[in-house]
Amino acid sequence: MKNKWLHLRLDEDEYKLLTDNFSKTTEKKLSRYARKVFLSEPVTVVHRNGSLDELIAVLVKVQNDLNGVTNNYNQMVHKLHMSDNERELKAWISLYEKEKEILFKNIAEVKELIAEGAKLWLQ
């Protein structure tokens, strides 16, 4: 049972250094992190790769774009099933071709990003 208190005063620079180092760890509580450092216990530090962070951000954008294309495609197919009109069918085919171009462009981007990610991963 922890029943002893230690009061510690820090200046702004010391506190910033402590919180900056704390933010790089897996610890959830600053007090637990400080206790581990003070008692020379091991602290798990997270090392992040900035390039992979950028890759993840781009992949999320591409995923959102692909979700939009998928939704548009599903709506067009639904309208096609509801249509008896030849003019609507031609309009649907035209829209389908545009969506297909967007989809293929996004797929090419995903392939490039996967190749970049693989290069980074293998380093």
Q: What pLDDT band is residue 25 in, cutting at 50, 70 and 90? A: confident
pLDDT at 85: 76
**Mean of pLDDT over the chain:** 81
Phi-psi region of 97 (alpha: psi -120 to 50; beta: other; left: phi over 0): alpha
pLDDT at 55: 73
Q: What pLDDT band is residue 123 in, cutting at 50, 70 and 90? A: low
Q: What pLDDT band is residue 33 in, cutting at 50, 70 and 90? A: very high
63: enclosing H helix or E strand: helix 50-82
